[in-house]
């Protein structure tokens, strides 16, 4: 049987990736396993996919060994002969195995296929146990908990800063603007980036920018992180206010929800794909998000001074 036929049996395109092959075999095996599908046709199909799976792994292993051999500059003729002899023995063993397989009964082949499938499941379960034990103990788990506590504290602080702690309004004006850059904001108004006299940056609507030229402008900021909650303009005895676009406040509660992902992983803590995914996101991506969060708007300085700076 051709190699292409083996891939067709597993329902995948030709590949050398063992993970893809194992995933396809696992999916097919669960469908046609005798314990799940006792029909005779399913039993034959289970034998077929098991043999295709094992044959593909043999071919990939042989191809990898052959490639490594061809890349080695110190390969001698004697080594080459030994490999040919070894390959000859493997071919002989494979041919003998094929002849034995053809002469064996259908029930024996089904039993052997089932045993190989169960062996693969036990091996994968053992690997999953080792991986779970590795990430939930020792240094990795301690690092994860530090990240989890830090992210949870920041999510809480940001929420309190937005809804509980008092705000403070300061007078301000625009020192730099670039109306050539403009995008449709969350309020369906055209917005452009500006810099205020205190150094803070924001995206606000062109209408507010135009008002600032002839009217007083104020910034209502949060107590702790000094984030701009509203840009206000006093005009004709009325307040016009605007929440800056593309800011933490305008996207609330997206940022706190993201920061709480490590806490969610901590409560899940099970041998599941979702826990593994959340653990890796928390361990490798969340520190970057935290650094960007602290550097933006000088939050690191406001954190050190407990919101008393600025």
Residue, of 63 and 53, whose pLDDT is higher: 53
> Tokens in use for 5?
């036929």
The class (CATH top level) of 3-68+82-134 is mainly alpha
Mean pLDDT of the chain: 81
Give the least confident one: 72-76, 152-156, 257-261.
72-76
d(CA 95, CA 99): 6
| pLDDT value, residue 88 | 52
Element (H, E) at 229: strand 228-235
Q: 71 falls in which pLDDT band (50, 70, 90)?
A: low
Q: 222 falls in which pLDDT band (50, 70, 90)?
A: very high
pLDDT tens digits along 96-150: 455 444 445 767 777 777 777 777 777 777 888 888 899 998 899 999 999 999 9
pLDDT tens digits along 39-51: 777 777 878 888 8
Give the least confident one: 30-34, 62-66, 129-133.
62-66
Closest alpha carbon to 221 in 141, 122, 299: 299
d(CA 70, CA 90): 19
d(CA 117, CA 114): 5
Answer yes or no: is pLDDT of 90 > 80: no
d(CA 309, CA 99): 83
Domain boundaries, the chain: 3-68+82-134, 138-157+254-304, 165-242
């Amino acid at each position: 049987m051709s190699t292409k036929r083996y891939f067709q049996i597993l329902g995948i395109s030709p590949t050398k990736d063992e993970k893809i092959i194992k995933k396809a075999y696992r999916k097919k095996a669960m469908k046609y396993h005798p314990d799940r599908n006792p029909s005779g046709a399913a039993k034959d199909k289970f034998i077929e996919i098991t043999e295709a799976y094992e044959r593909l792994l043999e071919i990939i292993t042989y191809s990898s060994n052959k490639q490594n051999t061809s890349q080695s500059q110190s390969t001698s003729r004697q080594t080459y002969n030994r490999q040919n002899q070894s390959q000859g023995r493997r071919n002989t063993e494979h041919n003998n195995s094929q002849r034995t397989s053809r002469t064996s009964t259908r029930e024996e082949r089904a039993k052997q296929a089932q045993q190989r499938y169960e062996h693969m499941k036990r091996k994968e379960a053992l690997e999953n146990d080792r991986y779970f034990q590795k990430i939930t103990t020792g240094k990795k788990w301690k690092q994860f908990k530090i990240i989890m506590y830090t992210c949870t504290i920041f999510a809480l602080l940001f929420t309190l800063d937005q809804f509980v702690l008092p705000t403070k309004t300061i007078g301000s004006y625009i020192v730099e603007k670039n109306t050539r850059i403009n995008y449709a904001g969350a309020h369906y108004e055209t917005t452009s980036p500006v810099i205020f006299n205190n150094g803070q940056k924001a995206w606000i609507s062109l209408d507010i920018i135009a008002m600032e030229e002839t009217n007083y402008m104020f910034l209502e900021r949060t107590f702790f992180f000094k984030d701009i909650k509203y840009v206000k303009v006093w005009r004709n005895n009325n307040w016009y206010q605007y929440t800056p676009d593309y800011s933490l406040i305008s996207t609330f509660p997206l940022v706190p929800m993201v920061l709480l992902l490590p806490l969610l992983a901590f409560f899940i803590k099970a041998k599941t794909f979702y826990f593994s995914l959340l653990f890796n996101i928390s361990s490798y991506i969340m520190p970057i998000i935290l650094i960007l969060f602290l550097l933006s708007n000088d939050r690191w300085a406001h954190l050190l001074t407990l919101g008393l700076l600025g």
